Structure 1
Amino acid sequence: MTILDFFWIFLMLSALQPVLRRQMLESSRQRLLAKVEHMRGSRVIALIHRQETMSFLGFPVFRYININDSEEVIRAIHMTGPDVPVDIVLHTPGGLVLAALQIARALRRHPAKVTVFVPHYAMSGGTLIALAADEIVMCEHAVLGPVDPQLGEYPAASVLKIVKEKPVERIDDRTLILADTAEKAIRQVQAAVKEILAGRYPDDTCEELAKVLTEGRWTHDYPITYEEAKRLGLPVSAEMPNEVLKLMQLYPQPVHQARTVEYLPFPRHRGPVAPREEG
């Protein structure tokens, strides 16, 4: 073989490496999902969104809950027997209200127990899905978020506040249209939250929770911690299985530049200190 032959072999192996790596990751995820399903006797669904970066221009691409996600999750729920619990692993910044609400309603109507695992964060639409669960398992530092509607770049609650505090003759037509849409959006999301919570809480509790989470009390990215979720009365637990955390490691963040967080990837515990030798 000539040097040119070795060069072409090197190019082919370099081109195949990402494909092989992706297939190995997918196989590892499937094996771990099967292990968790066997261990818990449930259907396990992973809904995980990572921020990706385009390799050519380097622009960040944000993944979020969309219609395709809702179709896939609902299909998995339909393939699950009524006596089989559903476990869903959530890691998402949110997304379309329609898609999140479809998933939440499908989970709410599943007869068996539904458990949502939040290892890191499930904001906005992710929280809407979590509200449909019988149990929300969160890590110590995991967070949920408000489900207040957003109209493009503007919070619906803030648009309504402008209309209330500013004389109507000084408000342009576009803002008035936004305010009308904002009022409808908040009312619709509040009704959806109450629908999802109904039957597990008293009516007044459902009303209060829906109001707190949708009225714009906080900014849209406000972190609702485990402690605060518990104070709100949500069915949270801190018993996060190690297998769920291992599953998150099999959804690595695409990296096209130097890592910003780095550590030795093995457990480290402080053991007994060995005595120092003299001399």
Structure 2
Amino acid sequence: MSVSRLLALPALLVLLLLIVGTNEYAVARPSRRTQDIAYVAATATDFSAERHRLDVYTPRRKAAASHPVVVFIHGGNWDSGSKNIYTFIGRRLAKQGVVAVIINYRLSPDVQVPAMAEDCARAVHWTQQHIAEYGGDPQRIFLMGHSAGAGLAALIATDNHYFSRLGLLQNSVRGVILDDPAGLDMYDYLLKKQYAGDEQYLTAFGRDPQGWKAVSALYHLTAASPPFLTFVGGKTYPSIASSSQKFRSRLKELGVSPQFMVLPGKQHIPMVLQLYWQHNVIYRQLLPFISKSSR
């Protein structure tokens, strides 16, 4: 089965997420949403009025100290998806004392993956500069993503050049939560092209094998990379399962003990849908991971 059938946002997923989002407005929400904030200057030559936007979800309950921050990057095959679908993630995180930042980024075919990763890094930079205004701690910024979004999160967390290009001396990401990550090793995937339809990814990734390697987080891992908390569906696509295992093995080779969990019976789409429920296993592991990695 082609991985495209896994990563794209099918009509059923969109419908389910819209139902979930609609339900969000029918229940009490102990959070405050500030939406459609531009994280790129409107005067920038590449500014996108739609895609260079983010939403911030802040806990309503006042705290003595600043809250940790999670920046969530949506999936969608590198050519679809929107922050507006994932309001439930922002609400659930805020309810549990986390300031959540849900972002848009430019998509294929308008741009290729390096520009998508650049957008994600710009959103993190905006967060570092402004999140204190929303009760967040700029020293405790974590990334989280599902599918293609998880691959982008892993990439900017491990390849510091995305931040150095912004004039930053260091990568501010304290840790990364990967939810059924796609694209961790697109170099191997595109060299093999095992599935019908794999040519479609050349639109987003280009035709240069060295470019495929450059945007694959696996090849940027070092012992100094931030900690990873990874969840993989027991019934996800083979390419996601295998690349996630390679990622885990590489961390072990570097002397790192990664937190890695396979969720039995879970397919790719339910891996993100489960985030609607506050007490699901990902949130239960995420909160202590953030606490530990903040020290």
| TM-score, normalised with respect to structure 2 | 0.35
Bigger radius of gyration: 1
**Structure with the higher strand share, 1 or 2:** 2
